[in-house]
A and B are shown apart, each in its own frame.
Chain A
């Protein structure tokens, strides 16, 4: 052994390291063996959530109108008409094309926008809380939830959660160490294929609802890891993409900065 150079010496692994490497490999193999689906199917699902959310908004409003209409029931002919209508809706499924729903959402009033966004946020938070469970029981050797502080949780989101959901990690994490975190994703994957050749302002506004889902995911993860919901505020802003991250074949014109604030931490340290 004395003849080995220092470099080689460091290449020799301790039993603990070997054991750890074995566990990691085992974990990766296990991950590999889990049932899979085409990532595209997942993308279609994500793409369709926003128009769906608007469709629900429309339907709920219609229901309100309908019930107020039928309660009036004054004219003699109106009841037949109602019956006819209900018959129609039985035979033909109601369908509005996605792009129309997205346009409707873009032009909707603030109240409708808020409700639709809240719906998407809630779906996201449902995904987030279930993901926590999934990742806790995944036996990932890189994860230990026992002594996870706020920074640990956010790191967990940046790495494991983002990788599972979007196939890549968060590009950059900044924090003031007092409960405020900025997560930069310069190529937020679900919106990379989105292109609206109008002015950028419209594009960014139309895409904003799509970012409600990951905001919800972050919230779902943090609350399921024990952060009280009231102490949490999550929002996003668009950010410019650094020059070296630009792609020759095009990409979404902006990156996304996810902003997490955990108030409890702020207060306790003030």
Chain B
């Protein structure tokens, strides 16, 4: 019995340069969005999400903290499944560092699923936390919050849950939360992703 673990594969050598250099993260996201996704009108998405949030506010009798939590766990349930679709679709290599991770989230994941590319900024000095700034957000376009909600509700909190769940499945334990939101009267919508630790024990063998 002979085993080959990671033996150089001559047949594919020719493709290396074409893959590594020309296909940037941005291109992977844009190509996938352009050619590989079935699209629907964003307003439909907006109003569906709006209906969910407003029902939750009613159910929890305007206890917005509970609404935030519910949206988060809903997102988490989506994230842990959505990640497989994302990986199967893009086959994107493991990121060497958190900076690359941020690029993949912004230019690839958000591009493919929501057709937006939030800006990555506000890096911590240790490069383990960054912010995503949303200039557009298909969850909340044309939404206005009533006064009582605008202090406590994180309207798009589902996004935090999705990111939390998806990152956890690729062994990145992160805190994900909104810092501010234009819906609350803040000048911009900012979401913070903070890496707590890499779950080394859960890292699949063979990746090193």
Contacts and interface: CB of A to CB of B under 8 A. Distances in A.
Interface of A: 31, 34-42, 44-49, 51-52, 55-56, 59-60, 93-98, 119, 122-124, 126-127, 130-131, 134, 164-165, 167
Interface stretch (B2-10, B48-56, B181-189, B196-204): B48-56
Contacts of A95: 73, 76-77
A98 B80 CA distance: 11
A42 B70 contact: no
B76 A126 contact: no
Contact of A31 (B41, B54, B136, B138): B41
A123 B55 contact: yes
Contacts of B37: 38-40
Contacts of A49: 52
B14 interface: no
Contacts, number: 120
A48 B74 contact: yes
Interface of B: 33, 37-45, 47-52, 54-56, 59-60, 66, 69-70, 72-74, 76-78, 81-82, 85, 112-115, 136, 138, 141
A40 B113 contact: yes
Contacts of A59: 60, 66, 70
A35 B41 contact: yes
Interface of B is mostly: helix
A44 B48 contact: no
Nearest to B55: A123
Contacts of A164: 40-41, 44
A211 to B, nearest CB: 16
Listed from nearest, the 4 A-B pairs whose CB atoms lie closest are A126-B51, A36-B39, A35-B42, A39-B38
Contacts of B50: 126, 130
B36 to A, nearest CB: 9
Given A45-B78, A56-B56, 11 more contacts: A37-B39, A38-B33, A38-B115, A39-B40, A42-B45, A51-B74, A59-B60, A95-B76, A123-B51, A126-B54, A126-B55
A40 B36 CA distance: 11
A93 B72 contact: yes
B120 to A, nearest CB: 20
B122 to A, nearest CB: 23
A46 B78 CA distance: 10
A37 B113 contact: yes
B81 A37 contact: no
Contacts of B69: 93-94
A11 B21 CA distance: 54
A131 to B, nearest CB: 7
Nearest to A98: B77
17 contacts: A31-B41, A34-B43, A35-B115, A35-B136, A36-B41, A38-B33, A38-B115, A39-B37, A40-B37, A42-B40, A47-B78, A51-B77, A52-B70, A60-B60, A93-B69, A130-B51, A134-B43
B82 A37 contact: no
Nearest to B58: A122
Given A42-B45, A45-B49, A36 B40 contact: yes
Contacts of B33: 38
Contacts of A56: 56, 59-60, 70
B115 A48 contact: no
Contacts of A94: 69, 73
The interface centre, meaning the residue of B50, B70, B74 with most chain A CB atoms within 10 A of its CB, is B74
A59 B69 CA distance: 11
A53 to B, nearest CB: 9
A31 B42 CA distance: 11
A55 B73 contact: yes
Nearest to B162: A44
A38 B38 contact: yes
A48 B60 CA distance: 18
A94 to B, nearest CB: 6
B113 A127 contact: no
Contacts of B48: 42, 45-46, 127
Contacts of A134: 43-44, 47
B73 A93 contact: yes
A134 B41 CA distance: 11
B73 A123 contact: no
Contacts of A98: 77
A41 B114 contact: yes
B83 to A, nearest CB: 11
A218 to B, nearest CB: 14
